Amino acid sequence: MKPDRALLGQLNRARGLRNDFMHEGIFKVDRAEMEALVRATEDYLAYIDKLEMASESEQLTVNIKDAPKEAPSREEIAICAYNIWEKEGRPEGRDRMHWFQAEDQLKASGR
């Protein structure tokens, strides 16, 4: 059983940021994105812990609900972020924050 592509993509993004920081000394991420990446890493580690704790026979029957859920689509996130932006009075410069807030809302709602 494999984690979904979106989660793996977030983990790769975190690794890329770490490499940029180590090689260039530049930290190219805002707080909201970093928090989202930390949550994704924690979700992945929790998933791995469950697999490691299961015996070999149990690994074959790990319930699908224990695996990280498929992330919302970019379109779903964009629509949700747009709605948040409108509700907040269409402020400028908060697009990333709205994007991550939309992702969190969709994930919390089970989507």
**pLDDT at residue 89, as a whole number:** 93
Provide the domain limits for residue 103.
72-111
Let me know whether 11 and 64 are in one domain.
yes
Let me know whether 60 and 79 are in one domain.
no
**Interval 11-51: pLDDT, tens:** 788 888 777 777 887 777 778 888 888 888 888 888 777 77
Let me know whether 65 and 45 are in one domain.
yes
CA dist 36 and 32 (Å) reads: 6
Structure tokens at 32: 């909201």
Let me know whether 88 and 101 are in one domain.
yes
Average pLDDT over residues 52-65: 57
**Count of domains forming the chain:** 2
Let me know whether 58 and 98 are in one domain.
no
The H or E element containing residue 108 is helix 95-108
Let me know whether 65 and 76 are in one domain.
no
pTM of the model as a whole: 0.41
